[in-house]
Structure 1
Amino acid sequence: MEPRTPFPRRIRWAAPVALCLVLVLAWLADWVSVQPLTGYPHHVADFVPLATAPLYAVLLLAPDGWSTVRRRAAAAAAASWTVTGVLALLPHRSAAGTWGLPETVALLALLARTARRAEPPPAAVALCAALGTAVVAAPLRMWHYNDLVNYAFALTVAVGTLLGLGCYLRALDARRARAVTAVRQSERLELARDLHDFVAHHVTGIVVQAQAARTIRESAPERVDTMLTGIEKAGLETLDSMRRLVRVLREEEGRAVRPGELYAALAELAADFSRGGGPDVTVRIDAAARRARLAPEVETSVQRAVQEALTNVRRHAPGAVTVAVRAALRAGQLAVEVRNDGPVDRAAAPAGGRGGFGLVGLRERAEAVGGSLTAGPTPEGGWQLTATFPVLDPRPDDAGMARSDA
C-alpha cells in the first residue's frame, strides 16, 4: 500500500467524532422537518431519508478493513440514486420533508475519500461522478421545487469543494509516496556501496592468504591449516553480509565508517554537533557494547542513525539543552538510543508518528541489516530515537554493564 500523508493522532480521532456529530445533527434536523409542528401534513415517504440515514453512516464510518473504498462508494451511490428515483416518481408526497441531510453529508465525505484513495484512477473518476450527481440530484425527492435551483447550486459548490479537497490530498499522497520511494532507494544504494567496500576488503584478504598458502605449502605445511581457517572465516563473514543485502544496487556517494572505528566516529559526531552551535551531547557506550563485534554494514547503519537523530534535534528541537547518546547490549542485540530534553516543534516535526523521510530511510536501512528503528516523544516532553542492530558475537558483561564515556 502506498504511503498516505499522515495526520497527527488527535486529528485522526477528531475527524470521525466530528462526522458523527454532524450526522446526528443533520438527522435531527430532518426529523423536525417531517413533524406536524412544521405546519405541513406529512407523508410516510418523508421518513424514507430518515430510515436510510444509518446505512450511509455505516458506509462512511465503518473501519477500513470492513470494506474497500470503491465498494462503499458504489453502494452509497446506488442506494442514493435508488431512493431518489423512487421518491421522485411518487404521485403523492407532503411538502414537509427534506431530501435527506445526513445522506448528503455522508455522500460528500465519501466523495472526498473516494477522490483521495480509490484505485485505479478510472474507477475513482466514475465513482466520484456517481456520488457527485447523486448529491446534486437529491432535492428532486422533494414535492415542492420552488428552491430547487438554489439547492442544486449550493450542492454543486459543496461537491466541487469536497472533490477538490480529495484530489489535493491524493496529490499529497502521491508526492509523499515518490519521496519515500526515493529515500528508500537512496538508502539501498548506500547500503550496497558499504557492502561493496566490505566485500572488496575481505576478498582481497582471501586472495592474499590463498596465494600465501600455495607458496608455503611445501616449506611450512603446518601453517597452511591456519591460513585456510582465516580464509574460511573471511568467506563466511562476507557471505553473511551479502545475504543481508542481496539485490541491492549502488552508485558512488558518501563514505562509510571504517570497521572498528564506530564509537570513535560517534564521539566525533557529537563533538561536531556541539561545536556547530548545538546542545551538549553525552555519549555513553556500555562495556558489553564495546566488546561486541558488529558487521561493517551494521556499524555504518549505527553511525547514520545517530547522525540523523542529531540532525533532527537541530531542526525540530531548538530548545533542547542536552542530548544523550547511549549504546548498550540488550538481549543479544546492540540498542542505540538518542534522547533529547527539548520540546519538539510540532509545526516542523514529522506528523503521524511515523517520522519524516530521513527516518523512513533509516528504518529501511536498519531493517535491511536485520534491525529495527522507532522514534517518538518521551513522557518528559522530549524526543527519543531507538534502534536495535544484530551483533556477530554477543557476550554478556560480567561487570554488570559497566559504562564508560566516549
Structure 2
Amino acid sequence: MNDNVPFRQGRGRWAAVAAALMLAPAVISPSSAWLPAIMAAVTLAVAFLAWPTGRVSLAQAASGAALLSLAADAADFGQPGLVLLWYPFETVALLVVLGRVVRHVSSSRAAFVGALTGAAAVLLPLRFTLHAPQTGLKESVFAAAVTLFPAAVAMGIGLYLRSLDNRRSRAVSLARREQRLEVARDLHDFVAHEVTGIVVEAQAAQLDEGAPVQETRALLQRIEMAGLRALDSMDQMVTTLREADGRRWGEPPPTRLYGLADLPELVDRFSSMSAAEVALSLEDEVVGFLSREAEDTAYRVVLEALTNVRRHAPQAGRVEMFAGRTADGAVEIVVTDDAGSRAPAGSRQGGGTGLAGLGERVGALGGRLESGPHAAGWQVRCLLPAPGLRRAAVH
C-alpha cells in the first residue's frame, strides 16, 4: 500500500474546499465576477494539490495556471472593485506555486516554468490598474514593482528548500554507498574467510583419499561449522539491508564490531582448518585500549592476513601473531608466516579490496599498514596510534 495515498487525499480535499470558497461569492455577484473567481479557484487548486496527479505534472499544472492568469489580465471585468475580492487569494496561490516550482521542478524546466509563474504573480495587479478609471501606467508599474518583492521571497524560499533537498539526497546517497561498502567489506572479510577455509579443507580431503573415518568425520564437521559461520555472517548482512529503511535518517547501519579480544577464537578456528602451527602473543593491556572502530579494523587486518595465508601460502608451516604496545604507546599488530615470498594478495583479480582497502581504513585512523616479504616468509604489520596520540596528531 502506498503511504502517500492518505496525504494526497487530504491535499485533494483541501483543494476542493478552497475552490468552493472562491466560487461561492460569484453566485451572488454579477456575471463578470465568474472569471476572477474561477482563476482564484484554479490557482488555489494548483497550489494545494499534490503533484503529479495522473499524467499531469507540477510543471504542466503551474504553466497552465500561469498562462490562464496572464490571459485573464487583459479581460474587462466590468466593475474594477470585483477584482479586489479574489486578488489576494490568487496572488498568494501564485506565490506558493512559484515556490513549489523552484523547489521541485527539474533544473531543465524550472527556469522557464518559474519565470512564467513569477510573471503571472508580478503582473496580476494589472487586472485592476488597467481597467480602473483613476489608475494608469504609473500605478501599474508601481503595483508590479511592489509585487516583485514577495515573488523574489517565494523564489528564495524555493531555492533554499531545493538546496536542503539536494543536500539530503546527497547525504542519503553517501549513506547508501557506505552501507554497500560495509556489506562488501563484511563479505570479503568474513564470508570469504570461511569459504576459503572450506575450499582448503575440500582440497585436502581430495588429496587424502584413504583418510580414516574419524578424520573424515572431523573434516566434515569443520566444513559444516565454517559453512554455518558464513551463513550467519550473510544473515546478519541481509538483516542490516532489510532494516535500512526503518532507521532514522543519518543513523549508521547496525554492524557487529570485533576486537582484539576476539583474536584467540579466530586463531582457534584457523588452527582447526589449517596444518600450520599458529602462535598468538596478545598483551593484556592492548585489549580495549583502542577505540571500537580501531579494534574492529585491527581484527579485520588479522583476519585478512590469515585468509591470505590460506589462499596464497597453504604450504606455510608456522604463523606467528603479535599484538602489543610499542615504545611510543601505539598498538602494533604483526602477522608473519614462513611460506616464502609471494605476490601481494591485493593483486589477485576478483579478490575484493583486501589489504589495499584495509590500508585506507588504517590510514583514516591515523595508522599505517605494511605488507611484504620478511625473512623466509611474508609479514603484515599494522600500527594504530593510541587515542591520545591520534588526538594530538589531529590538533
**TM-score normalized by the length of structure 1:** 0.47
For CA contacts below 8 A with separation 6 or more, give which structure has more relative contact order.
1
**TM-score normalized by the length of structure 2:** 0.48
| Structure showing the higher helix proportion among its residues | 2
